[in-house]
Structure 1
Amino acid sequence: KQLEARHKQSVADLQLAILRQYDPEQSEANRQATLAALKIADNNRSQTQRILVEKLQQAELDLRVQESQPVLAAQMKLAQLESEMLDVERAMEPPLEIRALWDRGDPSPTYVLRRGEHDKPGSLVGPGVPSVLTDVQTPWQYTAPFPGKTGRRLALARWLTRPDHPLTARVMVNRIWFHHFGRGLVGTLENFGVQGARPSHPELLDWLAVEFTESGWSIKHMHRLIMNSQTYRQSSHSGKEQAERDPQNQLWSRMQLRRLDAEALRDSLPSVSGRLEDTPGGAPDRVVVDRDGLVSVQPTANGNWRRSVYLQFRRTEIPTMMDAFDYPEMGPNCLTRNVSIVSPQALLMMNNEHIYTLAGGLADRVLTLHDEPCDPGLLVDAVYDIALSRMPQPQERKLGIDALRQFQHDWMGNTRSALTTYCHTLLNSAAFCYVD
């Protein structure tokens, strides 16, 4: 509130400075009357007040007035105050919002329509679920939890989450499995019916569903269970026997090679470069359209980037990197994402200015670990450790050392530029973009 009061005073000071430069002979009383008139709606102003406001509007368009020293000083003071207010707004936690549903009167009756005509209602349809999903004999029961409530939604929720429900737990664990392996135990995530695919491991699907319900429907427990399993920790490399007995990997004889999705790949870049902004919450990051037509996200005031969850998405302005790596459209529901391997992805990773800047951040992070002059082998080891979370193989290390020496020769001994080029090369590699 103090900043808002100071802001209002600074705006008034700027307007007074403009009036003084535009008409030095105007009385101070008329200038104060102009400020008072601005607080009144236009259709409620008197003729005198409208004349005073119009005079201020003309003064604001006068270049001579705008370039005068008192006006420039007032504008600078106002700009500094607005910058201070913006910093305070960014540091503030957003207000807590709660989404809730409530009943608005008695529910509208639903009837069986004779011959499907809306003006010929038949028998009344009571609350319940399709009879094909029940034993038909057990009546649908619901009890109002509070006065003025129907209890219908609560009854539906209890029916969906009861331990013997045949679908809810299976559908959920199948989708969790899909996000870890790139393919579900049931291939058709959206269709568990007779027209959908049959599960490759029905007993495993049933066991996971029971484990899910008995753990209190804990998604975190399922993640931990799957990621600690031997199936998840398999290598994606296929041997001769595996290729002969399970060529399509239907039996999960090896890990499925998967490319990182758009959000994970984008977030990995600032993470490995040390440029990830970890401040939670706040307003979404706005996107801008560059001169070359690409839609990009600008870094924060301290030069860092925030996670993709904080990006502002518009249907007409999807960030170019997200769009190139198969970010789903915002219109229809997205049951499964398309995964494409196309040349624009490689061109974007090679030529994008922001990605090269992040490669420089990774180089700076590596150089802080070693004093110059640095052993090229140690630099290669550090880049692999940070970017890929592993040490390089002997052949990879040799190629990295040779490349780093060649880059250093090309950059005339500039170690940082050479290391930035090498980091940029590694960020473009399949080892970084794929989960192996």
Structure 2
Amino acid sequence: MRIGGGGGAGQRFRGQIDDVRIYKVALSPRQAAVVAAGESIGEIAGIAEAKRSEPQAEKIRLYFLENDAPPRVQHAWRELVARRKEQEQLVDSLPTVMVMQERETPRETFVLVRGAYDKPADKVSPGVPAILPPLPKGSPNNRLGFARWLVDPSNPLTARVAVNRFWQMYFGTGLVKTVEDFGAQGEWPTHPELLDWLATEFVRTGWDIKAMQKLIVTSATYRQSSKATPALLQKDPENRLLARAPRLRLPAGVIRDQALAVSGLLVEHLGGPSVKPYQPAGLWKELSGQDYVQDTGEKLYRRSLYTFWKRSSPPPSLMNFDAAGREACVVRETRTNTPLQALDLMNDVTYLEASRKLAERVMKERRASAEERIALAFRLASARRPTPREGAVLHEALSSYLDEYKANPDAARKYLSLGDSPRDEELDVSELAAYSTLASLILNMDETITKE
């Protein structure tokens, strides 16, 4: 047992300790207050019952229950204490939500001249822009009324803005390209009637996001071929007229998630705290002096959605693929092409480990030939079989990798040691390294990281 230690130099206990008491259970605030009563049990017993203070009476009652009460009473008392402790633990485990309450007298608010707090101008009150419909009849002029106004069927913006963002998720560009701006500075919709119909369907189905996304992905527009002819590229290079299906690089997090899914590593558990997957060493130390403690086990393979995000040092792998930073709200991500992206796919531990597990997955098809294993890996990554020409190129690459690793088994072992997941010891080292390199090649294909 240590008293007064454990913290940093500025947190150490300073002073003298006169009395140390050890209890079998954690004391409640009421019990702690009783303990703070300085008199001993003998001294309290000498005080007439009518003259005892409340802490004194409680102190002697607790002493009786814990020491002198009949066994069945002591047992019942300990059971009660245990149940109360369980109740406290249950209450502590429940998530809490910060709530706000309206003031009885609303605070006066003014327009500030040039934003200066000491230069108030006209007095203003809560409301909605005059150009838009008023608050619903009977709604309070507060946050609740504003929330009801947002989802009121007569509101012309909320449903349109929402379905436009869903459309952008699947087509890369919204029906209104400026998804962040539906105002006078924004772009006019390319298909206003379609936008209106999707918005009314969204409201009609009870704002069902899943139903709206199903409607979009099962449409003939989305399911058509993404192949672009020279004539279409000349007339509609951005596919704003929807003459073909969308073709665009996957979002940053989806690229990582897909590699994990193809390899069989992805953990699909929903919810839970943030996780810290692989990251180059020293990044946090360089910027903030803090240490990045990498997670282990299943936490390494959770969806990118759960990745811990530090604004001053965001996950570099995701940022290389244009993930939005957290300095500002971003609803329209950009897509760039840089050498860092290829270097990331070829060298990041996440993708190298995924390549190894994908190789193990296809090699366990023991009756399959090399051609069949190659075809399986290709199909898992691209959802189609390779063409004869693609298969020949991949088979030639596999033969080259196999010769290289057979000549240098130490390099094969070093390559296969990357990542925390264990290697399948039953598989030949050189052959596994060759298939892993081939799997890395497949995961690097443009078709693998592109939605088309």
TM-score, normalised to structure 1's length? 0.71
Task: Give the length in aligned residue pairs.
Answer: 348
In structure 2, relative to structure 1, the CA distance for the partners of 1:345 and 1:231 (3 Å cut) is same
Q: Which residue of 1 aligns with 2:56?
A: none
Q: Which residue of 2 aligns with 1:435?
A: 451
1:316 and 2:317 matched: no
1:387 and 2:381 matched: yes
Q: Which residue of 2 aligns with 1:133?
A: 132
Kept in 2: contact 1:287–1:297 (CA 8 A): no
Moved more, 229-238 or 94-103: 94-103
Deviations 1:281-323 (A, max 9, x none): 4432236764475999846236951111221111222122112
CA RMSD after TM alignment? 3.4
CA distance in 2, matches of 1:197, 1:94: 48
Residue number among 178, 188, 192 corresponding to 1:188 in the alignment: 178
1:204 and 2:198 matched: no
- 1:131 is paired with a residue whose SS is coil
Q: Per-residue deviation at 1:178?
A: 0.6
In structure 2, relative to structure 1, the CA distance for the partners of 1:397 and 1:200 (3 Å cut) is same
After TM superposition, list the pairs within 5 Å mapping 1:251-400 onto structure 2: 251-286=241-276, 290-291=280-281, 298=294, 300-301=296-297, 305-371=301-367, 374-400=368-394
CA distance in 2, matches of 1:171, 1:303: 35
CA distance in 2, matches of 1:115, 1:382: 64
CA distance in 2, matches of 1:207, 1:250: 18
CA distance in 2, matches of 1:139, 1:351: 55
Kept in 2: contact 1:294–1:320 (CA 8 A): no
Kept in 1: contact 2:274–2:308 (CA 8 A): yes
CA distance in 2, matches of 1:204, 1:317: 41
1:411 and 2:427 matched: no
Amino acid across the alignment from 1:352 = D
In structure 2, relative to structure 1, the CA distance for the partners of 1:175 and 1:302 (3 Å cut) is closer
CA distance in 2, matches of 1:273, 1:251: 37
Q: Which residue of 1 aligns with 2:441?
A: 425
CA distance in 2, matches of 1:353, 1:248: 35
Q: Per-residue deviation at 1:120?
A: 7.1
Q: Per-residue deviation at 1:361?
A: 0.6
CA distance in 2, matches of 1:370, 1:96: 49
After TM superposition, list the pairs within 5 Å mapping 1:94-105 onto structure 2: 95-105=94-104
CA distance in 1, matches of 2:114, 2:344: 58
CA distance in 1, matches of 2:113, 2:384: 69
Kept in 2: contact 1:200–1:250 (CA 8 A): yes
CA distance in 1, matches of 2:405, 2:253: 33
Q: Which residue of 2 aligns with 1:401?
A: 395
CA distance in 2, matches of 1:366, 1:194: 55
After TM superposition, list the pairs within 5 Å mapping 1:140-151 onto structure 2: 141-143=137-139
CA distance in 1, matches of 2:275, 2:224: 38
In structure 2, relative to structure 1, the CA distance for the partners of 1:108 and 1:300 (3 Å cut) is same
Q: Which residue of 2 aligns with 1:65?
A: none
TM-score, normalised to structure 2's length? 0.68
Deviations 1:373-404 (A, max 9, x none): x4111111110222222222222222222222
1:42 and 2:38 matched: no
Q: Which residue of 1 aligns with 2:207?
A: 217
CA distance in 1, matches of 2:318, 2:120: 51
CA distance in 2, matches of 1:139, 1:202: 25
Kept in 1: contact 2:136–2:152 (CA 8 A): no
Kept in 2: contact 1:299–1:305 (CA 8 A): no
Deviations 1:8-38 (A, max 9, x none): xxxx4xxxxxxxxxxxxxxxxxxxxxx5676
CA distance in 2, matches of 1:359, 1:95: 40
- 2:448 is paired with a residue whose SS is helix
Kept in 2: contact 1:287–1:319 (CA 8 A): no
CA distance in 2, matches of 1:263, 1:244: 32
CA distance in 1, matches of 2:211, 2:168: 16
The answer for unaligned runs of 5 or more in structure 1 is 1-11, 13-34, 50-92, 145-150
Kept in 1: contact 2:135–2:146 (CA 8 A): no
In structure 2, relative to structure 1, the CA distance for the partners of 1:294 and 1:359 (3 Å cut) is farther
Kept in 2: contact 1:128–1:140 (CA 8 A): no
Deviations 1:100-138 (A, max 9, x none): 44324432134678999977766x65542122224xxx7
CA distance in 2, matches of 1:115, 1:423: 59
Amino acid across the alignment from 1:131 = A
The answer for unaligned runs of 5 or more in structure 2 is 7-11, 21-91, 286-291, 407-427
